[in-house]
Amino acid sequence: MSKYLFKVKLTVDGLQGLLKEGGTARREVVDRMVQSLGGRVESMYWAFGDEDAYVTVDLPTNTSAAAMGLITSAAGGVRTSTVVLLSPDEIDEAVRQKVEYRAPGA
């Protein structure tokens, strides 16, 4: 499974829904959605600042993550930004790969 961070910004409709349902109810909705995609929620935090919530999930594929972002944003209550998270082992694997590259102007 791959790990993803969803940065969530609520729209006016999303904020009204949150005020009506509360944070725990929204977490349950997110849990069910992620499980329906074959994944699991690692964490979900509400936040101050540019984003209203941060959700880390394990999902089977990038297409599962794309589906989650598309469906939630299309519903109109939120706008999401998805970050693919890499483990230290995955970075080590990337470092070992041979890549042909020339910097601009070099």
9-56 per-position pLDDT tens digit: 999 999 999 999 999 999 999 999 999 999 999 999 999 999 999 999
| Entry pTM | 0.89
Whether 84 shows a pLDDT value over 90: the answer reads yes
Cα–Cα distance for residue pair 52/63, rounded to 1 Å: 24
Whether 106 shows a pLDDT value over 90: the answer reads no
What are the tokens at 14? 């999303």
Q: What is the pLDDT of residue 85?
A: 97
> For the residues 79-98, what does the mean pLDDT come to?
96
pLDDT digits (tens, 9 = 90+) for 55-65: 999 999 999 99
Q: Are 3 and 77 in contact (CB under 8 A)?
A: no
> For the residues 78-104, what does the mean pLDDT come to?
95
